[in-house]
Every structure is written in C-alpha cells, then in structure tokens.
Amino acid sequence: DAGVIQSPRHEVTEMGQEVTLRCKPISGHDYLFWYRQTMMRGLELLIYFNNNVPIDDSGMPEDRFSAKMPNASFSTLKIQPSEPRDSAVYFCASSPTGQSAYTFGSGTRLTVV
Amino acid sequence: SQQGEEDPQALSIQEGENATMNCSYKTSINNLQWYRQNSGRGLVHLILIRSNEREKHSGRLRVTLDTSKKSSSLLITASRAADTASYFCATDTGTASKLTFGTGTRLQVTL
C-alpha cells in the first residue's frame, strides 16, 4: 500500500479564496482523521470519520471549514473563504480501528496571504 | 486543549547516548502512543502501550507507563543522528475513538 496520500503538498492562496485539501486513506482503514499543526497550537484534531460518517467535528474552528468523505477512499477538507490565520500544515491520518496506530500522510502546507 | 505535555521541550545529546522523554496526561486512558516527526514530514507511529501494560520494548525503544501518576516515558538507547526529530505522545481516552497529541519534544542528536 502507498500509505495515506495527501494533495497538494503545498498550497499558497490569497485571502478569501476557497481551498480544498484532499486525502486518500489506506484501503481497509475504517477511520479517517484531519489534524492541523501550527507552532502556537500544536496538533489539533479537526474532524474524524468512521466508515465515511463524520463522528466528531467539534475541532472544526469555524463554519468556513467543512469536510466530506463521499466514499471509503477519498476525503476532502475545504476552507471557504480562507484567511491568513488558517496557514498551517494539515494532516490526514487513517486507522483500522479507533484505538490502534494511525498512519499519517505527508501533510499539506497551506499558506494564505 | 492539550491532553499530554512532553518534557523536556528540547533535548540535545551526542550520538551513542541515551535519550529520555517524558509525557504527562490528565485523564484516564485506554492506551498511549508515541510518534516521531521528522522536519517537514508526517508523523510516524513508534509504539503503543495499553493502560494495563507497564513497559514495552521495540528495538532501541523502551516505553514505560505509570497510570497512577498519569505519565509515560520514552527511552531511546544508543541514539543515532537519524533519531533527530520531534517526538509526540498521544492518548486515547476511550470515551471517543480519537488521539489527543502532546506538545512534543525536539530531539537533536549530534555526531
């Protein structure tokens, strides 16, 4: 398996633009997680899915953030409109169960100018 | 809010020495995991220890867990330059199937 695949690796966008981050989890993993990493706040869980269903989105900072998982092999995290404070590295991770090791993607470094 | 707090925040040692990192957490857990993150990369799982376990080994890694003190330690023996990375503990509280990560320890191993 190629691991968790995220795209793009880097994204630079202007404030107010829509940004879409993509993730392909490992096949057979029932759980998918979106995390955000910043120097100030560390790693924060934004949302997670179990069997494509959103379970906990309490970490999503604002209504500007939305996430979907239309099928077991694809998830998106969308920010609309983007703001400079959204600049961070966004990680997707997947896990076979909710209590086992996570496999992380390489992340998307988002810069909003 | 952070569940885990690593100590020290940064650690610099020479190759061949042992490195010890500590993690304290606040609430009861199902398991505790340690991850490594190289600069600019994603996190890589190192080891998982369950709440009913006290010690676990994997290669040069040794993890201990003291649930009465709500703390864990990660020992890397005979460190190598390639061990230079940030190390994070993460806890699964069991009430929800998600990990909460600590603040991390930056380890620098010099030749």
Residues of B in contact with A105 (CB under 8 A): 42
The answer to whether the Cβ–Cβ distance between B41 and A106 falls below 8 Å is yes
CA distances (Å), origin B67, targets B9, B23, B33 = 22, 11, 14
- How far, in Å, CA of A2 to CA of A24, rounded? 10
Give the A window 10-49 contacts with B, CB below 8 Å.
31, 33, 35, 42-43, 45, 48
Which pLDDT band holds residue B93 (cuts at 50, 70, 90)? confident
- SS3 of residue B96 by DSSP: coil
**Closest residue by Cα to residue A109 from A81, A84, A87:** A87
- Average pLDDT across chain A, whole number: 96
Which one has a higher pLDDT value, A99 or A18? A18
Residues B14-34: tens digit of each pLDDT: 999 999 999 999 988 999 999
* Predicted confidence band of residue B6 (pLDDT cuts 50, 70, 90): confident
CA–CA separation, A16 and A89 (whole Å): 18
Q: Which residue of B45, B99, B105 is the best one to mutate when testing the A interface, meaning the one whose CB has the most A CBs within 10 A?
A: B99
What's the first-to-final CA gap in chain A, in angstroms?
Answer: 36
Q: How far apart are CA B81 and CA B84, in angstroms?
A: 6
Contact B43 A33 (CB under 8 A): no
Residue B1: pLDDT band with limits 50, 70, 90: very low
